[in-house]
Amino acid sequence: MPAFVPEQFAQPLVSPDTASLFRRTPYISPSEYAQAPTAVAVNNLVPGGSKIEQAAALAAVISRASDEVDTICFHRADGTLAATPATESGWIRPKDNGSIYFICNYKPILEVDGMAIGLNATEMQNISQSTAETLTINGQIILLPCYNFNGFGQGGFPSISITRPTVGGKVYAVWRYVNGFPHTSLATEAAEGESEITVDPSEPGGSKVYGVYEGTQLTIHDGAATEVVVVSKVEGLTLKLLGPLQYEHKVPTPPDTVRVSAVPWVVEQATVSLTSWLIKKRGTRAMMIPSSPARSANPPKQEEGQAGASTDYRDAVQMLKPFIVPYLRST
């Protein structure tokens, strides 16, 4: 008897979380890895390949290593340490005092951009700007203190009106926020003494860089010309600086970049270690010989990777421990 197949909806239901899935960006550039003291050769990643092919291969390995950084920190495919918007949804039970705690999957939370609450996905109310101004951010938690079932604000606060009982005492909520560390790259050449830089958008084809505000400190990663700048104003993709640049910065030939970032140095070092791990995991002809008579019955086998590969991975995991999210809210 054939299995039952449900009829396809005229209009599919798309999760509001979908737009924030699978965001990835390299945390170091190929030149940064090449300059790092790793003792790992990168001039023959493609046997017999040209310099352009070797650079492209290294950039691809760095992208995979950066993906591994995010996977270690967030345990799944839709988290990233680079500042980017995230949209989440779920059923949440308000506290007895009417407040709602939104436990987010990602950190650090930099800003909250939107929030809607309702009895279900078809009966939603956007919170007002005045209500949004009562929000507070504490680590991974966004607190809405002014929610009230009856539509009467507490302590003079505005509220969302729910006029009939909720399902199991819960309300359905969708919220959008920006999490992570500002992370982009230089888009145009910047001369020494200038007081502004132009950077690439956080999203392909976008028009803004996420996570950058007045007072944000960013590092321009440019070899010997690396320097730290402080943003005084954000105008689209142009960042006005508090002081003049100390060095000239040119945009290198792709896939290399000059990163402009606030990603912690330890994350960058973890990416270096994971890049080394991936390169060493290509394989080796070395053989593993039993080290004691008790193991002599085991035949020799080929090593899984070059010397130090497992150490590189363990070091990276240890460095990333402060950024690992121990709890992910299920929607």
Tell me the sheet residues that pair with 167.
Answer: 170
- pLDDT per residue as tens digits for the range 91-107: 888 887 778 899 998 88
Buried b (16+ CB within 10 A) or exposed e, 193-220: eeebbbbbebeeeeeebbbbeeebebbb
Name the amino acid, one letter, at 310: S
Instruction: Decide if 73 contacts 117 (C-beta within 8 A).
Output: no
pLDDT on residue 306: 61
Count Cβ atoms within 10 A of the Cβ of residue 145 and give its class: 0-12 exposed, 13-18 middle, 19 or more buried. Answer: middle
Domain residue spans of the chain:
23-80+265-286+307-323, 84-179, 184-261
Residue-wise pLDDT tens digits, 216-255: 999 999 999 999 999 999 999 999 999 999 999 999 999 9
Contact at 8 Å (CB) between 45 and 57? Answer: yes
CA neighbours closer than 13 Å in the CB half-sphere of residue 156 = 0
Cβ(285)–Cβ(302) below 8 Å? yes
pLDDT at 272: 96
Token reading at 56: 């492209």
What pLDDT is attached to residue 305?
Answer: 53
pLDDT-flagged residues of the chain (< 50): 21, 149-158, 285-289, 302, 331
Predicted pLDDT at 4: 85
Cα 102 from chain centre: 19
Q: Which two tokens stand for residue 232?
A: 């005084």
